[in-house]
Structure 1
Amino acid sequence: MCPHSEEPAAWHDASLDFSKDMSYSDYLALDQLLAAQHPLSPEHNEMLFIIQHQTSELWMKLMLHELRAARDHIGQSLLGPSFKMLARVSRIMDQLVQAWTVLATMTPPEYTAMRPYLGKSSGFQSYQYREIEFILGNKNAAMLSPHAHHPERLAHVQKALETPSLYEGAIQLLARKGLAISAERLNRDPTKGTEYDPSVEAAWLQVYRDPTHYWDLYELGEKLVDLEDSFRQWRFRHVTTVERIIGFKRGTGGTDGVSYLRKMLDVVLFPELWRLRTNL
């Protein structure tokens, strides 16, 4: 074909002319996405640092999309679709566990060279991560403060704090299915973090002792355990990567760094589902 022909050469019958049609880059807004990396330092390794965190935020956006939908479905007693959503969130967390291995290729001198350019910015300030923690029941009103300067972000996090968590929805479902949950637990302030309740453990024990009769609730319990299992691994890999790169220095956001992150490893999202294993 003449190099000046208006028709591009055929290649495996693929469409090659997108002058009038939407292309892959158009659909994904790749020009905007790939132009969103703005290193502030002269260090080669800052691109890795930026892309690591930007891609994590994209995965977290999808997590929130799935978690909100799963919570809504559980609230409507539609467990089948919620199982797929919860399983997807667990796999996203597994993906993020592996992502830390890429950041771990950054050595302490490489990070130290770019750290002064980060100012006080820190992953601790991620409003999407805070929303994930809140929807999973690890709520703390003090964590609204880092977002007070940005009304739109604050509104997102405030709503997540005030909305009953995913696990609250599961507990309400246990009650709707006829399992005995204390009135105090059912009427608990939704802005408070999850705390162990013996009536909730007793209800889950009834489910786990007769899974055939309560199969849908039994499967929900295991999906929640899968979710927390993956979340713990994500947190642990985060701590390990941070310690590998900065040791026990304070975080850029002012936290105790690794010491703070290790404390977070002790948080249990769904306490009754873990405790019942000892009591079965």
Structure 2
Amino acid sequence: MSTEKSTDKSPEKIVHEEKAQLDFSASMSYGDYLHLDEILNAQHPLSPAHDEMLFIVQHQTSELWMKLMLHELRAATTCIAEEKLADAFKMLARVSRIMEQLVSAWTVLSTMTPPEYTAMRPYLANSSGFQSAQYRCIEFALGNKNAAMLKPHAHRPDLLAQVDAAYRSPSLYDESLKLLARHGLPVPADHLERDWTQPYEASDGVEAAWLTVYRNPHDHWDLYQLGEKLTDLEDAFRLWRFRHVTTVERVIGFKRGTGGTGGVSYLRKMLDVVLFPEIWKLRTDL
């Protein structure tokens, strides 16, 4: 006869244990950890338009993705400076995937038709994505520096300080060129020590350094991988910009933006900005 105690439980005991497992009053719950009360109550439509909720949620979620993007970009830039390249590659790959999420977000917003946007537009006043401090920090971190883009944040000293710090710091590409030089590639001196607040200017000398890497990838494998991670990143960023401009044109046509820009005309100019020019040009010259 077995001496083991029966593990059978009565239905009443099972129900009691399940209730105990579902009671989070004495511990941290999912909602507590994510501060869902604050997040889900941060949508405050100003108009009676049904579609304003879409507009708000799309931009708020985009700002959350951009927060993560900045977290990864800053860390990747530091890792490149410290030659922790495996870590940097993982972070840059994540940034490219985040941009894919942002492209998809424009697809959702494109379901808003012109009459639906027109119904809520007067309630936006002068607020505009053009004023996003996080987006400006991303542009600066990727090397698209422009002093005029500090002005939209002058009314918020805390935000201005963040944007200004990104404006004055070496970009991801600046640190990448420094890395090439440390590995013995002949990067021109004026691209290694310069005024980081100035827009990047393409250089034949920098292209020659990258060409050395791409003509001998097995001899410069980490630098070759870095070049391709940067290419992936800019490829994804171009798609994000393109979906932005096409969505805006689809919804408002060629009206001026609420923030005072030319709207579509301004956004189309941004499509011509090349962040890592030598990495793209070398493909023709290989």
TM range (shorter): over 0.9
Once the two structures are aligned, what percentage of the paired residues are identical?
71
Within the candidate set 126, 129, 143, 1:120 is matched to 126
Q: CA separation of 1:18/1:148 partners in 2, compared to 1, >3 Å: closer, same or farther? A: same
Within the candidate set 129, 140, 164, 1:134 is matched to 140
Structure 1 unpaired stretches of 5+ = none
Superposed displacement of residue 15, structure 1: 2.9
Q: Confirm whether residue 45 of structure 1 aligns to residue 51 of structure 2.
A: yes
**Rg larger in structure:** 2
Superposed displacement of residue 193, structure 1: 1.5
**Relative to structure 2, which stretch is displaced further, 164-173 or 182-191?**
182-191
The answer (yes or no) to whether the contact 1:8–1:16 under 8 Å persists in 2 is no
Within the candidate set 158, 163, 166, 1:157 is matched to 163
Report the Cα distance in structure 1 between the residues aligned to 2:241 and 2:42, rounded to whole angstroms: 26
Within the candidate set 76, 83, 91, 1:70 is matched to 76
Q: Partner residue of 1:246?
A: 252
The answer (yes or no) to whether the contact 1:8–1:17 under 8 Å persists in 2 is no
SS of 1:10 mapped into structure 2: helix
TM-score, scaled to structure 2: 0.94
Within the candidate set 184, 190, 194, 1:184 is matched to 190
Q: Which AA in structure 1 matches 2:165?
A: K
Q: Partner residue of 2:223?
A: 217
Q: Partner residue of 1:98?
A: 104
Q: Partner residue of 2:90?
A: 84
Cα deviation digits, residues 43-102 of structure 1 (max 9, x gap): 100000000000000000000000000000000011000000000000000111011111
Cα deviation digits, residues 85-128 of structure 1 (max 9, x gap): 00000000011101111101100000000000000000000000
Report the Cα distance in structure 2 between the residues aligned to 1:220 and 1:142, rounded to whole angstroms: 31
The answer (yes or no) to whether the contact 1:52–1:103 under 8 Å persists in 2 is yes
Report the Cα distance in structure 2 between the residues aligned to 1:208 and 1:132, rounded to whole angstroms: 27
Report the Cα distance in structure 1 between the residues aligned to 2:93 and 2:113, rounded to whole angstroms: 34
Superposed displacement of residue 197, structure 1: 1.0
Cα deviation digits, residues 185-224 of structure 1 (max 9, x gap): 2111111121101111000000000000000000000000
Structure 2 unpaired stretches of 5+ = 1-10
Report the Cα distance in structure 1 between the residues aligned to 2:17 and 2:48, rounded to whole angstroms: 43
Report the Cα distance in structure 1 between the residues aligned to 2:70 and 2:188, rounded to whole angstroms: 29
Q: Partner residue of 1:230?
A: 236
Report the Cα distance in structure 1 between the residues aligned to 2:81 and 2:172, rounded to whole angstroms: 9
Q: Which AA in structure 1 matches 2:188?
A: S
Within the candidate set 253, 264, 283, 1:277 is matched to 283
The answer (yes or no) to whether the contact 1:127–1:157 under 8 Å persists in 2 is yes
Superposed displacement of residue 181, structure 1: 1.2
Report the Cα distance in structure 1 between the residues aligned to 2:279 and 2:50, rounded to whole angstroms: 46
Q: Which AA in structure 2 matches 1:111?
A: Y
Q: Confirm whether residue 197 of structure 1 aligns to residue 203 of structure 2.
A: yes
The 5 Å alignment of 1:161-172 reads: 161-172=167-178
Cα deviation digits, residues 206-253 of structure 1 (max 9, x gap): 000000000000000000000000000000000010000000000000
Report the Cα distance in structure 2 between the residues aligned to 1:93 and 1:60, rounded to whole angstroms: 9
The answer (yes or no) to whether the contact 1:67–1:89 under 8 Å persists in 2 is yes
Report the Cα distance in structure 2 between the residues aligned to 1:55 and 1:248, rounded to whole angstroms: 26
SS of 1:43 mapped into structure 2: coil
Q: CA RMSD for the aligned pairs?
A: 1.4
Runs of 4+ in 1 over 6 A off after TM superposition: none
SS of 2:18 mapped into structure 1: coil
Superposed displacement of residue 8, structure 1: 5.5
The 5 Å alignment of 1:51-62 reads: 51-62=57-68
Superposed displacement of residue 183, structure 1: 1.3
Q: Which AA in structure 2 matches 1:42?
A: P
Q: Partner residue of 1:10?
A: 18
Report the Cα distance in structure 1 between the residues aligned to 2:16 and 2:224, rounded to whole angstroms: 58
Q: CA separation of 1:173/1:209 partners in 2, compared to 1, >3 Å: closer, same or farther? A: same
Report the Cα distance in structure 2 between the residues aligned to 1:234 and 1:242, rounded to whole angstroms: 12
The answer (yes or no) to whether the contact 1:121–1:252 under 8 Å persists in 2 is yes
Report the Cα distance in structure 1 between the residues aligned to 2:135 and 2:141, rounded to whole angstroms: 10
